[in-house]
Amino acid sequence: MRPMLATKGVHVPSGDEWSHEVKWDGVRILADTADGRTRMWSRNENDVTVAWPELSDSPLGGRDLLVDGEVIALNARGLPDFRVLQDRMHNRNATTARRLSHEVPATFMVFDLLRLDGNDLTDQPLDRRRELLAGLDLADSTWQVPAAYDDGAMLFDATLQQGLEGIVSKRRSSRYTFGARSPHWLKFAHRHRLSYVVGGWRPQEGTTDRLAALLVGEPTPEGLLYRGRVGSGIGGKVGSMLGELLKPMERPDSPFADEVPRVDARGTHWVEPRIVVDVDTHGTGYDRLRQPSYQGVRHDLDAETLGANP
């Protein structure tokens, strides 16, 4: 069984027929407790129970239930961050999983109840399912029930300011259909345009001189800290223009004050950190850009100005 998915929305809906929730940046999980045992299933129907030892015992003991939710973990800035879970989500070794559960503790954000005490609830409206879920009293456990809100515009603005991923708006009358991408669930992810300093460029695969991606960083009191590789939005005339701009600035070593991951550093042409570019990115408050897209060179800014005005 696969979870029901949301459709990408255009405008946050308003009105009494809609409820709104935080969009969590984690791993989607269905947890099924039957015959006294809880099994956790990924979005692709893989049994991932072993990966989450601190979550795989239902707080309700052996009570029969099926829930939908998101496993999350916090990054160094206190924000839910999918990348923090990378080592955990693919692990299938019980010993390693127990160690990682202490190093990277996770929480299961349960936002839907699909079966309870043998009763299938998928044909019940969302409001009824949420009412029953709230009544389970999962507080003070590794399973938590996140709040739902009536004001979607308010939640959208609040999550934007807090650097969260976005929101999901759900029709209160919606039924749950496994595997469907429902028009009754709408997702709204935040994107931000920010400025970064270029510290290197990567050539196109199979070439040495055709620019395909930029390595960018953020000026800080500790120096230029690496924030990621930007390839989307660069191609054709844009790549040629950037190549002509950056090639005269090449240097033998990295200008970044921290270590650039080997996968990004391999084959990179380092440059003097002078050029500032705008990047459209998914979410803020992360150490690495998420789904970045190149937007253009900022001829009105230089690295020193950017560092003085974070």
Please indicate, yes or no, whether residues 218 and 282 belong to a single structural domain of this protein: yes
Which domain CATH number covers 272?
A: 2.40.50.140
Contact 244, 297 (CB under 8 A): no
HEC assignment per residue over 139-172: CCCCEECCCCECCHHHHHHHHHHHCCCEEEEEEC
Contact 214, 242 (CB under 8 A): yes
Using DSSP, state whether 79 is helix, strand or coil. coil
pTM: 0.73
Distance in angstroms (rounded) separating the CA atoms of residues 73 and 57: 18
23 is catalytic: yes
Please indicate, yes or no, whether residues 41 and 154 belong to a single structural domain of this protein: yes
Distance in angstroms (rounded) separating the CA atoms of residues 303 and 219: 7
Please indicate, yes or no, whether residues 12 and 110 belong to a single structural domain of this protein: yes
pLDDT score of 286: 66
Please indicate, yes or no, whether residues 204 and 147 belong to a single structural domain of this protein: no
Task: Name the catalytic one among 8, 23, 187, 247.
Answer: 23
Distance in angstroms (rounded) separating the CA atoms of residues 79 and 277: 26
Distance in angstroms (rounded) separating the CA atoms of residues 216 and 213: 10
* Beta pairing partners, 226: 217
160-190 tens-digit pLDDT: 888 888 999 999 999 999 999 999 999 998 8
* 64 CB-near residues (< 8 Å, 6+ apart): 33, 34, 115, 116, 117, 118
Please indicate, yes or no, whether residues 32 and 150 belong to a single structural domain of this protein: yes
Distance in angstroms (rounded) separating the CA atoms of residues 132 and 136: 7
13-62 tens-digit pLDDT: 999 999 999 999 899 999 999 988 999 999 989 999 999 999 999 999 98
pLDDT score of 16: 96
Please indicate, yes or no, whether residues 247 and 299 belong to a single structural domain of this protein: yes
Show which of 152, 171, 189 is a domain's final residue: 189
> How many structural domains compose the chain?
2
Domain encompassing residue 129: 5-189
Show which of 162, 189, 216 is a domain's final residue: 189
Contact 244, 263 (CB under 8 A): no
Quote the Cα angle for 303-305-309, to 5°. Answer: 115
Please indicate, yes or no, whether residues 20 and 149 belong to a single structural domain of this protein: yes
| Residue numbers of the chain with a pLDDT score lower than 70 | 283-286, 307-310
Please indicate, yes or no, whether residues 22 and 149 belong to a single structural domain of this protein: yes
Show which of 142, 164, 189 is a domain's final residue: 189
Distance in angstroms (rounded) separating the CA atoms of residues 118 and 143: 20
Distance in angstroms (rounded) separating the CA atoms of residues 270 and 97: 38
Q: How far is CA 235 from CA 188, 203, 204, 240, 267, in A?
A: 28, 11, 10, 8, 18
Identity of the residue numbered 309: N
* Beta pairing partners, 216: 198, 228
> What is 120-132 written as a DSSP string?
E-TTS-HHHHHHH
